[in-house]
Amino acid sequence: MSLWIYYYHRVSIEGEVDISLSLFDRQMRFLSENANVCSLDDVCEFIEKGRVPLKPTVAITFDDGFYETYSFAEPIISKYGLTATVFISTSRILDGGKRITLRDYWSGKASLKDFVKPSPVSLKYRDTTSPYQSGFMTWEEARYIDKASVRVESHGHLHLKLPSYPPRIAGTYKGFAGKSSSRRWWLRHIVHRLREGVPVFFLESSLKVRSFKWKHPLLNFCELTPDCLEKVEWEKLVIPETEEEQRKRILGELETSKRLIEENLGKKVIHLAWPWGEYSELSVELAKAAGFKACYTTEKRLISCADDVFHIPRLGARRSWIKFLKRFYACASGYGYNALKVLKIGV
């Protein structure tokens, strides 16, 4: 029949961000009744043996390591006897103890008002800088869910974007209120003194990109018009990474993430999901060198017998019950999903 992986990010009470609590519960109940929910180890075994399971088979994953994976998702996954995996970006994981979960709400020990609320700014811009880090799990919470129903694996260390070499200008920074900047929270990692007029360059994941350093502060170019900015010979103003520097930086981040999880959770880490689904064959080579045994993308398709364990596709979870059912039955029919995709019928 068919084999595929869902990926989620956050579960929120009313669906303020990503999927609502009630819809996630409904989806998990449906999967427990209509599919074989397997682990990522099982997925790798299917691929390595070159066979697709007869019954519709699904793996459930989460990216980033948000608090809601611990507080909302894990109790529901456990309630239906399922298993899942969360890929965490280790620089975001906090110190501290365990906070409340749905189990406390179900037992009457807490109300929904007691849960950590996502910041409106962090929701809109996915800002991971202070003071919004309470939206991520603690190491104690990660240890807890890893021993329960949600296995913890790697999503890299920084979850960072860097400007790619050669530099290509995309425009100028217009402030976080500007529509064109609504997805540029990562600029705070690149330019620490943001102000309107700073040139904005095309960026890629730190686990893929060959980046560069500036010879002159970007703030020097704030007063230039867009036409003037286009005429600047940016390549003369930067120092590109050497191939050796790029390899060392990427490998260092991968090894740091793997080491931190293994040290804090006392387990082996073998699965890696690429942030934003961005990677290169160099990234894969370095992931193998770091000791990972499987890598996961965001390529939207079913898993086939022709896949290898270092290029495993995943499908984003749907936030509508009708769209969820439509995608499930399209995937369950095997070729049905690919046919609908070709016809550009949303699945």
CATH number for the domain that contains residue 149: 3.20.20.370
CA–CA dist 153, 201 (Å, integer): 31
Domain count, the chain: 2
Strand 161-163 and strand 150-154: the pairing is unpaired
* Amino acid 47: pLDDT: 94
What's at 242, amino acid-wise?
Answer: T
* Amino acid 315: pLDDT: 95
Residues 307 and 208 in one domain: no
What's at 149, amino acid-wise?
Answer: S
Last residue of a domain, one of 239, 255, 284: 239
CA–CA dist 155, 134 (Å, integer): 18
SS3 content of the chain, % helix, strand, coil (to 5): 40, 20, 40
State the DSSP code for 243.
H
Confirm whether 50 is domain-assigned.
Answer: yes
Residue 154, beta-bridge partner list? 88, 272
Do 159 and 118 meet the contact criterion of CB atoms below 8 Å apart? no
Each of the 347 residues of the chain gets a pLDDT tens digit; together they read 589 999 999 999 988 888 999 999 999 999 999 999 999 999 999 999 988 788 899 999 999 999 999 999 999 999 999 999 999 999 999 999 999 999 999 999 999 999 987 765 555 544 444 334 568 999 999 999 999 999 999 999 999 888 899 998 877 777 654 444 444 545 554 555 567 777 778 889 999 999 998 887 776 777 777 778 778 888 888 999 999 999 999 999 999 999 999 999 999 999 999 999 999 999 999 999 999 999 999 999 999 888 999 999 999 999 999 999 999 998 998 765 555 554 455 55
Residues 177 and 123 in one domain: no
Count of other CB atoms within 10 angstroms of residue 344:
7
Give the tokens for residue 328.
């499930």
Residues 134 and 185 in one domain: no
Q: How far is CA 204 from CA 34, 117, 165, 167, 279, in A?
A: 38, 29, 10, 11, 9
Do 294 and 45 meet the contact criterion of CB atoms below 8 Å apart? no
* Amino acid 17: pLDDT: 81
Give the containing element (helix H, strand E) for 62: strand 57-64
Vertex 322, ends 316 and 326: CA angle to 5°? 65
Confirm whether 250 is domain-assigned.
Answer: yes
Last residue of a domain, one of 187, 218, 239: 239
Residues 22 and 96 in one domain: yes
Give the containing element (helix H, strand E) for 170: strand 169-172
Residues 55 and 128 in one domain: yes
Last residue of a domain, one of 179, 212, 239: 239
Gyration radius of the chain over CA positions: 21
Task: List, for residues 223-244, the tens digit of each pLDDT value.
Answer: 777 778 778 888 888 999 999 9
Residues 53 and 129 in one domain: yes
Q: Which domain holds residue 167?
A: 161-239
* Amino acid 199: pLDDT: 79
Residues 167 and 140 in one domain: no
Confirm whether 347 is domain-assigned.
Answer: no
Count of other CB atoms within 10 angstroms of residue 339:
13
CA–CA dist 60, 75 (Å, integer): 14
Vertex 28, ends 23 and 34: CA angle to 5°? 120
Confirm whether 26 is domain-assigned.
Answer: yes
Give yes or no for a cis peptide into 131 (omega within 30° of 0): yes
Q: 335-342 vs 321-332: helix axis angle to the nearest 10?
A: 120
Residues 54 and 82 in one domain: yes
State the DSSP code for 119.
P
Supply the pTM of this predicted model.
0.91
CA-closest candidate to residue 128, choices 160, 95, 87, 167 = 160
